[in-house]
Structure 1
Amino acid sequence: MTAAVDGQAGTTSRPRAAAWVAAVLAPVLIAVLVCDAVITLILEVLYLPLYVGSTAVPIAALLAAPVNVALVWAAATVTNRVIVLFLPIGAWLVAFLAAASRGPGGDVPLRSDLPTLLLFLCGTVPALLYMYVIANRRNSSARR
């Protein structure tokens, strides 16, 4: 006696479980990306005044662009909402403003100079442009 096994029997529970796991892990991933944005800004501020010989080389400012675009890309893998895509960059901006302001001892980690401006522009403009592209790509596909 043989029993026929239906190949479709367990398929309805697997997508539900995957959707549940994705729904639970998405906020965790966004929180990790927000913390990662603050950590990367701290490292960028520490390495911003890097000198090679007597020449200032703001390599940290140039690395801020791909790192922040990668943070937005990682957030886009779990959400479609533009405001959630902005959370890592928003955390980066808040940490940037905190580093640019005067601390309790009167120290300022970020000075008012060209490398700081370059860090700000490289950290925000490419990531915001990438968010703009993602938002428009999703809006154009929703209209079709």
Structure 2
Amino acid sequence: MRATIDDQATAIAKAQASPGSLGTVILVVLVLDAFITLALEVLYLPTYVGSTSVPIAGVLAGVVNVLLVMGVRSVSQRVAAMFLPLAAWTFGFLVCATTGPGGDIMLASDWRTLLLLFCGLVPPLVYLYLRLNTAVFSRT
């Protein structure tokens, strides 16, 4: 009787840990969505209202990245999978921060770029930290 219960628990854990074919497609779409949203955030980062800079893209980066991590969490419970959209977003950010073939650069060296980096990474990392620690403490 005990072995049957343990076998069922192991099968359920394996099914939750690895996404199926639809889960893999959703993961790929979420990673591509991280690239697309970064491109839009970089385009709208130098937004001005009158003569005042309003970097609303930085705030939206944090919200969108948290939603991307939540989307991955609904497909897979693996921590490495939850970091995939953040890794793609960070890679895209670093590509945008380097110079292009003509010497042009998409992200200027100012406080708005730092705000975009901070708001794009810190809220999803805090979300991951809180979700993973509440899951660990709820098991004990």
Q: Aligning the two structures, in what range does the TM-score lie when normalised by the shorter sequence?
A: 0.7 to 0.9
Q: What is the alpha-carbon distance in structure 1 between the residues aligned to residue 102 and residue 128 of structure 2? A: 37
SS of the aligned residue for 1:103 comes to: coil
Give the match for residue 82 of structure 1: 79
Alpha-carbon RMSD across the aligned residues, in angstroms, is 1.1
Q: What TM-score results when the alignment is normalised by the length of structure 2? A: 0.84
Deviation at 1:139, TM superposition (A): 1.8
Give the match for residue 24 of structure 2: 27
Give the match for residue 16 of structure 1: none
Q: Which runs of 5+ in 2 are unaligned?
A: 1-14
Q: 1:129 aligns with which of 123, 126, 139?
A: 126
Q: What TM-score results when the alignment is normalised by the length of structure 1? A: 0.82
Name the structure with the higher helix share: 2
Give the match for residue 68 of structure 2: 71
Task: Answer yes or no: is 1:38 the counterpart of 2:35.
Answer: yes
Structure 1 runs of 4+ with >6 Å offset: none
Deviation track 1:27-55 (CA, whole Å, cap 9, x = no partner) reads 11110000000000000000000011111
Give the match for residue 3 of structure 1: none
Q: Which runs of 5+ in 1 are unaligned?
A: 1-18
Deviation at 1:135, TM superposition (A): 1.3
Give the match for residue 93 of structure 1: 90
Task: Answer yes or no: is 1:117 the counterpart of 2:114.
Answer: yes
Deviation at 1:138, TM superposition (A): 2.1
Question: Which protein has the larger Cα radius of gyration, Structure 1 or Structure 2?
Answer: 1
| Number of equivalent positions | 123
Q: What is the alpha-carbon distance in structure 1 between the residues aligned to residue 41 and residue 32 of structure 2? A: 14
Give the match for residue 11 of structure 1: none
